[in-house]
Structure 1
């Protein structure tokens, strides 16, 4: 079986629904194709495991796929906390624009230390005017923060990192090995991932989207965070169907527990920057020794090669770096950056990551060697940059009541409704067995 390397052809799946995001880029088209990739790779796995005589057909609802690229959960009777730290956002510098990502306390502290100003937007805006954008970007990144100067598409495509990313495949498959899939007697054509143990070491947002997707078809997803970790405004969206545990990987007892969990995992998904797990003693060799039969997928922000391969990054920053926000500015005839209407790079990469896991599992089921999958937000940005817009129907803005399921989801924060699933197979529909819950709310163990 051929491993996933590209988006599926439009005619390979059934498309229903209409509507698309208003954007200079093919946002809805990428939503359709990345969600479809999950369905098609799952269909191949169903066939490879002999859960059905033929690979089932795949259907994607374009309207719902578009909305799942935004927030999937709507609270009832309460409000979600803000996604953004007050200092985060776009600022004008002496020669252009820059974006700060300060949702994590240490990223905020790094930016304010470099700017040498008070921690409020007004003070930051004044301090910004004293800097050139690219110089400030470098200083904040070198201080351990997260920032991105706005570049044009032409500037990015000629930048050393842009050149490196463009030369990478959409999914970088490395280090193939033969693995033995564990028997999963609960797996059926209806719930093809039932009993699949997925160890989730990811943070906002692409990685959690991938594991949420796998949970939708029955996988047992166990997410591990550091003690006290939280992602306000995000967890309600991406913790769906998962058990959320915490371990301190610098603590001996917790390390032993983590290694026991990893040894029994069927899939490991992580979003650490290249080399970060090595620093904890869990480099590629150690992971393979502990879990020789686990499929592995990982992602980073700026790609796996080039001078920025180790750089911290997020969807909103990559949009600035890769010329997406500037292209939107030009099309809108605006002065300030105009990003995509949703965090497209995160969501598309998340679905492609889930599809890569399924592709690897199907390959293993046929006895072939399975490499580890590596994806990045920057490479997904290049994919988006080359796509043509063709989606039909009216522009979408926010979902209607009818776009949500009628069942109440009693999340760890309060009741709400979840968007109806955007993807279905003839034999299987997405559904989640448990509501979204707080980080650290479950024990660090696999279900019996």
Structure 2
């Protein structure tokens, strides 16, 4: 077992505003060569789970008036959870991996990475390149390969994005990312956290976290959290996220006792398998925010929410009056956590993106290249999962600070920020333990989808729950109300 003083854990804890020295108490139990890669993926994964576990333990200790429980992170559990979709079985069926048109394609001057897992993204990719859709068979795949090979990578990138699809030119080295992920020359930050103080009917945002001795009632409009058996028990979370990273964050909050309600538009269907993998502990409802009656229901939910988590592009929800400042003005004490792909400044901030695309454009794919020079990939959707645990940790820490000092919080995370940290800020550590066996970190649970075999949570402190209190419900079938 490795004792504290893990540099990556300490750094992430400090970024989240954690108390100095507390991260040194986190210990790690090795499992051998898990999440093996040229880049320090194992170290990234365990550090993000470590700070999430510590933030949960810290909040629980505050609510119960006891010392912070011991935090021990098991790398076997982390490795299993980071590839949870590979171990998931739904009534005995394995999940489908990346769609045939999602992948690396050789361009005239390099490589392109596409993402076409969703039907609308697939259709836009083919339309942008004037390719007739002949289904998912080899004919369409060959035609895409031929078409991409005739054009420069950046031309394909811009043509596909202009059509609403998803493609990026693959960076040849980490030193030269193909996508400007932040304004100026600075790298996107791992996290941005601001304290929001309500005053005179508007939100006034102050940089930095709350400081000891600052005035304010707990929550500024939100009642203090009472003693509880779980860190987030009684916390109400509106989950406006999709795919992996945001749902991993809210799934973790649900594990820790939060009442999590995921809200989606009925006009933007979700892939059932993706929802099954990340929907444990939560409920799922559909609301059209453009419809008066649905918007009224949504505002009623907001009135008593503690946390709102969004995973849409910067500015995408502003037209609904759901910008962080607007939310904070109407709901003092609210914690708003935002996630995006490419960072919060720069020309690509408002573009759509996924883990695989950020890996390609940031230089991660070049770092993991094969011997023949073709781009590679991390052993997991590690940016997604790591960012998810960072978001959960940031929210838990914000609940702690709100309890102590009052005020709301505004948190921002990005896959690009996590990618930059992996490339330039996380170091390798010695491998310990082993051999790795995923079996102890898998369980079976009945659900509305049939029997599930799924990964257990890697988040752990002394006395922590081992798994979720309920399985995922069917997407969009729950009533839009708190439990």
The answer to whether TM tops 0.5 is yes
TM-score normalised to the size of structure 2?
Answer: 0.85
Structure-2 residue corresponding to 1:216? 255
**Counterparts of 1:169-180 in structure 2 under 5 Å?**
169-174=189-194, 176-177=196-197, 179-180=219-220
Does the 8 Å contact 2:333/2:406 carry over to 1? Answer: no
CA–CA distance in 2 between the matches of 1:395 and 1:325?
Answer: 27
Structure-1 residue corresponding to 2:79? 66
Counterpart among 252, 267, 270 of residue 292 in structure 2:
252
Does the 8 Å contact 2:240/2:262 carry over to 1? Answer: yes
Q: Deviations over 1:267-314 (max 9, x none)?
A: 100011111011233223432244322211011000001111111100
CA–CA distance in 1 between the matches of 2:38 and 2:142?
Answer: 31
Change (3 A) 1:233 1:393: farther
Change (3 A) 1:391 1:218: farther
Q: Deviations over 1:128-179 (max 9, x none)?
A: 1121001110121122111111103345359643675844431112462263
Alignment of 1:446 with 2:482, yes or no, is yes
Does the 8 Å contact 1:80/1:233 carry over to 2? Answer: no
Change (3 A) 1:97 1:260: same
Range with greater deviation from structure 2 (12-21 or 380-389): 12-21
Counterpart among 457, 461, 465 of residue 421 in structure 1:
457
SS at match of 2:380: coil
- Tell me how far 1:76 sits from its aligned partner: 6.2
Change (3 A) 1:8 1:253: farther
Change (3 A) 1:77 1:43: closer
Q: Deviations over 1:332-373 (max 9, x none)?
A: 313322110100000000000000001111111112444300
Structure-2 residue corresponding to 1:315? 355
**Counterparts of 1:186-335 in structure 2 under 5 Å?**
187-188=227-228, 190-227=229-266, 229-329=269-369, 332-335=370-373
Does the 8 Å contact 2:84/2:454 carry over to 1? Answer: no
Structure-2 residue corresponding to 1:91? 105
Q: Deviations over 1:220-269 (max 9, x none)?
A: 11001112622243111100110011111111111111111111111100
Does the 8 Å contact 1:34/1:351 carry over to 2? Answer: yes
Structure 1's unaligned 5+ residue stretches are none
CA–CA distance in 2 between the matches of 1:378 and 1:275?
Answer: 17
Does the 8 Å contact 1:93/1:129 carry over to 2? Answer: yes
Instruction: Let me know the Cα RMSD of the aligned residues.
Output: 2.5
- Tell me how far 1:22 sits from its aligned partner: 1.6
Aligned residues: 439
Structure-2 residue corresponding to 1:384? 422
Structure-2 residue corresponding to 1:111? 125
Structure 2's unaligned 5+ residue stretches are 1-12, 134-139, 199-218
Q: Deviations over 1:45-83 (max 9, x none)?
A: 22333x132122211111111111111653265214424
CA–CA distance in 2 between the matches of 1:80 and 1:158?
Answer: 34
TM-score normalised to the size of structure 1?
Answer: 0.91
